[in-house]
Homo-oligomer: A and B are copies of this chain.
């Protein structure tokens, strides 16, 4: 993270009963206002959709607010495309597939340089996971094995998107999300922010804001989790 970084870290692309990105389109339009050469990173491939098919989905949503965006997979030299891009949107899907593809294509340094220099980055779900220090707090199934779980480290903490509160009265014996994050803290020290569906973070001018209708749950190693209210959450940047 640098003082010029601009980020939109979004828990989910879609909220129940609404179209793809629909609930957050006004924020997207505002965030990318005046930006050209936007690039869509389709590598997370939700449900195994093709890169082309996934890019079309993003293009339709962006077009509805007057933005055009092109799939990163369509460039002959994706690293060069990243250097020249006016903004990035990384869609959700499988975090392991996304990260492994970025490592294989050696695109992580280019993305870090561009975002560090102020090119705005938006990520939903798996694309939000990527902005944290590591993807060790993803909810996804490890269907492929990336060489590392280190992520883009745009922010000095980890993200848990689609954060779910324990379901009252559940008889299922699998771990709750909170239990999983506490297990993470037996082996790692960085804070983890549980972002509920409908919530997002926006970083600009060194100011980090929690937006959307929900509180977010902050897990610090060895401490009781706390609920952060929507509004400024600059304390999350203090690890930087």
Contact = CB atoms under 8 A, between A and B. Distances in A.
A166 interface: no
What copy number does this chain have within its complex? 2
Interface stretch (A54-62, A63-71, A170-178, A228-236): A170-178
Nearest to A141: B180
Interface in A158-183: 162, 164, 171-175, 179-183
Contact of A143 (B94, B144, B184): B184
A183 B94 contact: yes
Contacts of A182: 47-48
Which size bracket describes the interface of A in this complex? 35 or more
Given A45-B186, A47-B182, A15 B173 contact: yes
19 contacts: A45-B183, A45-B186, A47-B183, A48-B182, A48-B183, A48-B185, A96-B142, A97-B187, A136-B142, A136-B144, A138-B142, A139-B141, A140-B175, A141-B180, A141-B183, A142-B142, A143-B184, A144-B187, A164-B174
